[in-house]
Chains A and B, each alone.
Chain A
Amino acid sequence: SYELTQPLSVSVALGQTARITCGGNNIGSKNVHWYQQKPGQAPVLVIYSDSNRPSGIPERFSGSNSGNTATLTISRAQAGDEADYYCQVWDSSLVVFGGGTKLTVL
């Protein structure tokens, strides 16, 4: 079965750029979606199909996908960006989530 690997945690200084990776075999050939989840809340879609932002998501959120790694980039990180982030792909009609990355804004 297909697996997605994320770092358990990423730290970023306030106002700096955070990068969260999602590794998978030839993930560049798949569409990757990213979700943000804050404590006690449902996940929220922040990037879809590798690099597209849903309405209402700040331009500070961007994504890329190539080879074996997809990356969620958060520019000018704010305290409100502190959350868990999950990548997700579809694989043969099944859904796969990464294990999640806790982003800490210092």
Chain B
Amino acid sequence: EVQLVESGGGLVKPGGSLRLSCAASGFTLSSFAMNWVRQAPGKGLEWVSSISSSSSYIYYADSVKGRFTISRDNAKNSLYLQMNSLRAEDTAVYYCARGNYYDPFDYWGQGTLVTVSS
């Protein structure tokens, strides 16, 4: 059974940093691109970042470019999102999702809440 489990969310002050993790199981992580999608409270889905299976290709939404870094460790079956210079508008539930480029996101984690507030 495919499972994605996010962790690392919490309360952080503006300007602070946080590192999210996504533990993957039930499939071969190295065969798939992975993605982060966030959802602010009461709002819609917003794509954050994508990383190819071998980390060769990485893309970011303009809203996080230069502040967030996506990475992965296939040997540890894990995906990461390093978030720096956090702003109030980064407050959201962050989901990791499996999906190769131009394919749908077929599996999603349950999400982890990040709250940026003083």
A interface, CB within 8 angstroms of B: 1, 31, 33, 35, 37, 42-45, 48-49, 54, 84, 86, 88, 90, 93-100
Contacts and interface: CB of A to CB of B under 8 A. Distances in A.
A106 to B, nearest CB: 23
Interface residues of B, number: 22
Nearest to A99: B44
A90 B105 CA distance: 11
23 contacts: A33-B104, A35-B105, A37-B45, A42-B109, A42-B110, A42-B111, A43-B37, A44-B108, A45-B104, A45-B105, A45-B106, A48-B104, A48-B106, A54-B106, A88-B104, A88-B105, A90-B101, A93-B101, A94-B47, A94-B59, A94-B61, A95-B35, A97-B45
Given A35-B45, A100-B45, A49 B104 contact: yes
A90 B61 CA distance: 12
Chain A at the B interface: mostly helix, strand, loop or mixed? strand
Contacts of A54: 106
A49 to B, nearest CB: 7
A90 B45 contact: no
Contacts of B46: 97
A84 B109 CA distance: 17
Given A86-B45, A100-B45, A93 B57 contact: yes
Interface in B78-102: 95, 101-102
Interface in B38-65: 44-47, 50, 57, 59, 61-62
